[in-house]
A and B are shown apart, each in its own frame.
Chain A
């Protein structure tokens, strides 16, 4: 959208320049000799457009090239008509004569308009031709999830084997780095764990947000900076398990949440069913961390209950659509 408006502004600016220059400068500098309209001129003009557009965009197919040439010709004629209208007002000429001058008879203006037309429209044409190709990319290319698995296998990651198809999508660090760039697309093709970790990771203070299963393996993670998520993940379970034994001896029950504060860092580990959420953040980074962690945990809780619930899936639509 922003590209389109930028292109349109650019075209308007150059078109104004192309209109004003022949109107003000050329009659004085080059005289007002007339050129008779002819089909040969039109042929040369179209050939020129075709040549220029083909030279700069060789990847365009013939149909697109022909369309672009047609667009340039129409643009040049419209520019000529506007130019005619303007000179009819400026030099008090008959409207019909002035439009004929602008469109086909006044050589300096026609040359300037003709020479500049393909260059003025180039960015717009490229943008409009590129857009449909971009839309097609997800259909023709490898999906991001599959790409992550391929990357993991190619680089020998021990965690390439998918536990579930959704979990497999988040098992490489390379993709975790791309989480940041893919932030605007939150919700598209992500599972609940991904959404939770990304949501927590939106805080700048967070360097790691990871969902870890009961075996200490990563299910989903968000990484910022050089934290090794694979290495940190087992400790989420270890912290919980080792302290659980001690706390149970003291009749405190099993721990639900562990919050460790160090000189510069803060580590929060929360337990939900058989999985754990581990968040590593800068200590003084953000006061909203606790809120984000709670909300992230709520996302995980809901997703876990929905996806891995022990309840038999009988008429699941009833839980979403109230009875009428």
Chain B
């Protein structure tokens, strides 16, 4: 799992990645030192939970991925089966490339490589 996160972090623009359980507990983390992994984990779980609840009210479910473009960077939350794959990136990163790498990483996480 750490190997997958490490390879993901080599993608241009990606500043860190981690896997968080749906309850916000960090499963594996490879974030840069500027972020507190516990905070990011809680934040990821909170955001995905919030969005899922709202989507349920809209009769939509099966949330696969959330991308948030904020003032200080981008965050990608992707359903990884065992939890949420969180990827933090620079504000000007290549979203397409990051998503592609996330897709590959998810595939590898699901198959347990």
Which residues of A in the span 243-270 have a Cβ within 8 Å of any Cβ on B? 243, 246-247, 249-265, 267
Check if B33 is an interface residue, CB within 8 A of chain A.
no
Within 8 A of B (CB), among A232-247: 232, 235, 238-239, 242-243, 246-247
Of A232, A247, A260, which one neighbours B70 at CB under 8 angstroms? A247
B73: A residues at CB distance < 8 A: 252
Q: Are A252 and B54 in contact (CB under 8 A)?
A: no
Which partner residue on chain A sits nearest B76 by CB separation?
Answer: A259
Q: Is the CB of B62 within 8 A of A247?
A: no
Question: With A246-B43, A261-B65, A262-B60 known to touch, is A253 a contact of B54 (CB < 8 Å)?
Answer: no
Binary CB contact string for chain B from 39 to 62 against chain A (1 if under 8 A, 0 otherwise): 110010011001100110110111
Q: State the Cβ distance, A248 to closest chain B Cβ, in Å.
A: 9
At the interface, yes or no: B64 with Cβ under 8 Å from chain A?
A: yes
Instruction: Give, as a whole number of angstroms, the nearest-CB distance from A292 to chain B.
Output: 15
**Contact, CB under 8 Å: A254 / B50:** no
Residue among A249, A257, A262, A263 with max Cβ neighbours from chain B (10 Å)? A262
Chain B residue nearest in CB terms to A261: B65
Please, which residues of chain B bring their CB within 8 A of the CB of A247?
43, 47, 68, 70
Q: Give the B interface residue count (CB, 8 A).
A: 26
Give the distance to chain A from B87, nearest Cβ to Cβ, in Å.
Answer: 13
The size class of the interface chain A forms with chain B is 20 to 34
Chain B contact surface mostly: mixed
Are A261 and B64 in contact (CB-based, < 8 A)?
Answer: yes
Instruction: Evaluate contact between A250 and B54: CB separation under 8 angstroms.
Output: no
A254 CA to B73 CA, complexed, in Å: 10
Given contacts A235-B57, A239-B51, whether A262 and B72 have CB atoms under 8 Å apart is no
A253 CA to B68 CA in the complex, in Å? 11
Min CB–CB distance A288 → chain B (angstroms) = 13
CB distance from B50 to the nearest CB of A (A): 5
Contact with A along B9-48 (1 / 0, CB 8 A): 0000000000000000000000000000001100100110
Which residues of the other chain, B, contact A261 by a CB distance below 8 angstroms? 63-67
Q: Which chain A residues border B46 with CB–CB below 8 Å?
A: 246
Q: Complex Cα distance A270/B46, Å?
A: 20
Contact B60 A258 (CB under 8 A): no
Q: Which residues of B sit under 8 angstroms from A231, Cβ to Cβ?
A: 58
Contacts of A258 in B (CB 8 A): 66-69
Contact residues in A for B84 (Cβ distance below 8 Å):
none
B54 lies within 8 A of A235 (CB): yes
**Which chain A residue has the least Cβ–Cβ distance from B61?**
A262
Q: Is the CB of A257 within 8 A of B72?
A: no
Docked-complex contact A246 and B47, CB < 8 angstroms: yes
Q: How distant is the Cα of A171 from the Cα of B106 in the complex, in angstroms? A: 42
In the complex, what residues of A have CB within 8 A of residue B54's CB? 235, 238-239, 242
User: B57: which A residues are within 8 A, CB to CB?
Assistant: 235
Query: Which residue of A243, A251, A263 is within 8 Å of B47 (Cβ)?
Result: A243
What's the minimum C-beta distance from B103 to chain A, rounded to whole angstroms? 11
Tell me the minimal C-beta distance from B98 to chain A in angstroms.
Answer: 12
Q: Which residues of B have CB within 8 Å of A254?
A: 70-71
State whether B43 touches A250 (Cβ < 8 A).
Answer: yes
A–B complex contacts, Cβ < 8 Å, 12 sampled: A231-B58, A239-B51, A243-B47, A246-B46, A246-B47, A247-B47, A253-B70, A254-B71, A256-B71, A258-B69, A259-B67, A260-B63
Known: A255-B68, A263-B62. 17 other contacts (CB 8 A): A235-B54, A238-B54, A247-B47, A247-B68, A247-B70, A249-B43, A251-B72, A252-B68, A252-B71, A252-B73, A256-B69, A259-B65, A259-B68, A262-B61, A262-B63, A264-B62, A267-B60
